[in-house]
């Protein structure tokens, strides 16, 4: 008899790793550079985040709110 192959589960849409990582960056005050989709780079420390944006605090420059959908990636300095 032929048995049906086991069903494959769909990948999980939310792993909750992003909030953990952002919380770690905030707690450790890790300097980061954020690359935006238009290739602009912004450096500073992340002070706050929510589902839609992050707040970057910069030395000697205005703080910024960056919408997550404009963020290409974040890397630690």
Asked if residue 52 belongs to a domain, the reply is yes
Alpha carbons within 13 angstroms on the beta-carbon side of residue 16 total 0
Q: How far apart are CA 56 and CA 43, in angstroms?
A: 8
Instruction: State residue 1's pLDDT score.
Output: 58
In a domain, residue 25? The reply is yes
Confidence of residue 69 (pLDDT cuts 50, 70, 90): very high
Tell how many helices (H) and how many strands (E) occur in the chain.
1, 5
| Residue at 10 is within a domain | no
Domain that holds residue 22: 17-76
What total number of domains does the chain contain? 1
Q: What share of the chain has pLDDT > 90, as a percent? A: 79
CA dihedral (31, 21, 27, 72) positive or negative:
positive
Assign residue 33 the CATH number of its domain: 2.30.30.100
Rounded to two decimals, the pTM is 0.78
- pLDDT tens for 7-29 read 788 877 778 899 999 999 999 99
Spatial CB neighbours of 24, under 8 Å, sequence gap ≥ 6: 30
- Note whether residue 7 is domain-resident: no
Residue 5, domain member (yes or no)? no
The answer to whether residue 9 sits within a structural domain is no
């Amino acid at each position: 008899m032929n048995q049906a192959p086991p069903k494959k589960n769909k990948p999980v849409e939310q792993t909750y790793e992003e909030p953990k990582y952002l919380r770690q960056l905030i707690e450790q005050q890790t300097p980061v550079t954020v690359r935006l989709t238009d290739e602009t780079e912004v450096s500073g420390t992340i002070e706050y985040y929510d589902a839609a944006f992050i707040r970057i605090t910069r030395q000697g420059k205005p703080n910024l709110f960056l919408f997550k959908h404009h963020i290409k990636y974040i890397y630690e300095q």
